[in-house]
Structure 1
């Protein structure tokens, strides 16, 4: 007596056997996985200046690499602004950044609500299982509320984005940029 196999069961059996005979080259290639690695910086009092930090952690098992041009854009939280057109690597983070803002006025202290930075640095962006961070110089308006968090102000609620590419494949990663205000 012959057994009848439904079309669904036959399809499942065929798909399962295709997985068993797939050549190794079809296996998924391991990729870096960059996630936000916000760091709580020292507080900045309303009316004062200080440092804010952005960062990424590679939770993947392979290094995130760059072989093209990197780009980072940062947005100052409400009641704050960047006081220098610089993006400084912390530790092993890639450097060589050239930055410009949106509101520099010649003859006056630098003051901008956005930083657009690029770097031609090639190599490791974030090693597997490691974090990388960059710092920026910020100032908080005297009108800012004290003892609070000034949140990300960028597009879609991000504080910063990093773009890098490997073998022509670009990757965007989102980061937090928050400032903690505290009376001095």
Structure 2
């Protein structure tokens, strides 16, 4: 999930404003959370159980990479609510299966109202699966090689959290060199946040307290 998407230009469905996301919020259960994580029930579950937790495995990281790419131009809430449909449509994001997709699968995916029907993103997802199969070290090992050392102190607000870093820029360049698409520095950093390569939960958040 890109925090930039949460910050962008006022309110829309599922997209909190900057004021909502920069500080801790005390939820109905009395637990302090990063502000965006208290904004909808979907975000609360994702914040509490997934975001910032280390994730390994080629297929698991391919799924997250693909969903981050599909988020481009949309809110993460949209992707979260479509994730079950994405998993069904993309064979649970098994890299070997998606890499074998052909034009009939592209047509099938373009006709699937349960996912985001964008030809460029669909074709990138298939191409990225093929690129992942060609990695001698595997996708998980490659991505985790760019994980920075843990922060010495936690951010006090998301105004202190970058949208990209030297590590995410290096990751994006390495992926592009290996044939991956729709993974720029900002998407790479969102992937790093989502999969625990970096942990940007705010100081005081109950997830890390």
TM > 0.5: no
The structure in which a higher percent of residues are strand is: 1
TM-score (norm 1): 0.26
Q: TM-score, normalised by structure 2?
A: 0.24
Bigger proportion of residues as helix: 2
